[in-house]
Amino acid sequence: MSSKYGKPYNVPADLPPILKAFSREVLRAQPENLYEFGEAYFNDLLAQAEADAAQPAVTRLSKAELQETFTQMFQQADADGSGALDMKEFKEVLSMADLGLTNSQIKSVMSEADVDGSGTISYVEFIPLAVDLVNSMYAKMEMEAEKEEARQNASDYLVKGMTPEQLEATMRDVFVMCDVDGSGALSLPEFQKCCQDAGIGLTRKEINHLMLQCDVDGDGMITYEEFTPLCHELLVEILAHESKQPSELEELMIQIFQDEDVNEYGLLDPITMSRVLKSLDFGLTNIQTHSILSTLTYNAEGYCDYVPACRLMSEIMYKMLDQGAQQERAAQINALIRDQRIDFDVIHGCTAPQMAALLKEELSAADAAGTGLLDRATVAHVLANSALQLSTQEVNGVLSCVDPDPNGFVNTMQLSEIAFFVLQYIAQEAAVAA
């Protein structure tokens, strides 16, 4: 019970992330003596902080300042005024210049110099080149620093389009669902299935990485306590080093679709297009996949010309997989909600439960046998004539929600439950693009 005479304490803003990082290292190391491990850990942390504080700040020079600095230093070293220095003198001048560059970067600058037959370098010719080179290095260093700062800002960093809290909640729900015996632990095969069933687009490589890192005690079982503190930051680390350009995505997709196109017509039906796209191990969430499928167009016979479609899909996919783009998208959506009062929890005048009920009613009216199954053509007709007044893109997106069974029938219950979230994603994309 608190006392009004008690001394008030304020928790420093940077304490929670420090404790979180410490907890993560404890889980990874599994120390026998927690107190000794903690003492060593925080002593190292303190030593690093003191070293960083003692490090003098390096002032990066402007182009004009670089030009002046180089000219003065080279002229001072050039005792005979020849306008040239030998390699040793040249290196000493660059090393003495407080440019904020590493030894490797200084060597890189030197490698751009032209050495004449006498083993000397004309610094008058070299200075303009060096100024541009050092300036570009500054720009690259600043860009890398910004990337690292964004990567370390885990509380705001989106993974698979989700905040750490959203990712944790999603994985917790799926973990509990897969933990049928309620033990709080999953075997590695169960954990693999859990990650696949999460529907957030975890790739095979990402799942394997999570399995290896989260089984910290090596017993072949993963507990929720082991998994939760590591999931988000591990995925941040993986995604920070993985990126495919649109051209790479396009080439991969065309190759895969061509393998399906046994007749080499350059055309595929919507079911095949959907199946192939969903099978790609690119890291797309279910909703993102349905959104991409909604952009496809089909000819009068119901077939898609997949080569131009791959170009469009690759550009959309690249934005979905790029973490910076997803961060920007989330910020834009939040701004639309805040500034323009757009309510994305209501789509076509319906909340998620209302839309599910409406679609169930409309699809049931077409289901004379009451089986909850309809062929794709009938579902497409119902959606196109729905009271929701869906566009062609929205109809395609909803149709992609559920794959037909071996007999070609669609489960209308499943489709009705997920349709809102696909339409919500499409609406958000349209609002951001407007």
Is the pLDDT confidence value at 8 over 50? no
Cα–Cα distance for residue pair 79/165, rounded to 1 Å: 65
Q: List the single range of 81-90, 158-167, 172-181, 419-428 with lowest mean pLDDT.
A: 158-167
Q: Report the residue count for the chain.
A: 434
What pLDDT shows up at residue 89?
Answer: 78
Q: Which residue has the higher pLDDT, 386 or 249?
A: 386
Taking 3-state DSSP, the helix, strand and coil percentages for the chain, each rounded to the nearest 5, stand at 60, 5, 30
User: What would the pLDDT profile of 170-196 be if each residue is shown by its tens digit?
Assistant: 778 888 888 888 888 888 888 888 887
Cα–Cα distance for residue pair 249/251, rounded to 1 Å: 6
Is the pLDDT confidence value at 210 over 80? no
Pairing between β-strand 221-223 and β-strand 373-375 as defined by DSSP bridges: unpaired
All domains of the chain, ordered by start, with CATH?
A: 63-152 (1.10.238.10), 164-240 (1.10.238.10), 246-321 (1.10.238.10), 326-433 (1.10.238.10)
What pLDDT shows up at residue 353?
Answer: 93
Mean pLDDT estimate for the chain:
78
Buried b (16+ CB within 10 A) or exposed e, 88-118: ebbeebbeebebebeeebbeebbeebeeeee
User: What would the pLDDT profile of 122-135 be if each residue is shown by its tens digit?
Assistant: 877 778 877 887 88
Buried b (16+ CB within 10 A) or exposed e, 19-38: eebeeeebbeeeeeeeeebe
Residue 336, token pair as written in the block: 């639309």
What pLDDT shows up at residue 44?
Answer: 78
**Any residues with CB less than 8 A from the CB of 375 and at least 6 apart, and which?**
404, 408, 409, 410
What pLDDT shows up at residue 155?
Answer: 40
Q: Which residue has the higher pLDDT, 196 or 399?
A: 399
Cα–Cα distance for residue pair 109/87, rounded to 1 Å: 13
**Look-up: residue for tokens 């290292």?**
25
User: What would the pLDDT profile of 138-168 be if each residue is shown by its tens digit?
Assistant: 777 776 665 555 444 434 455 666 667 777 7
Cα–Cα distance for residue pair 46/132, rounded to 1 Å: 38
* pLDDT (mean) for 341-348: 91
Conformation bin of residue 247: beta by default, left when phi > 0, alpha when psi is -120 to 50: alpha
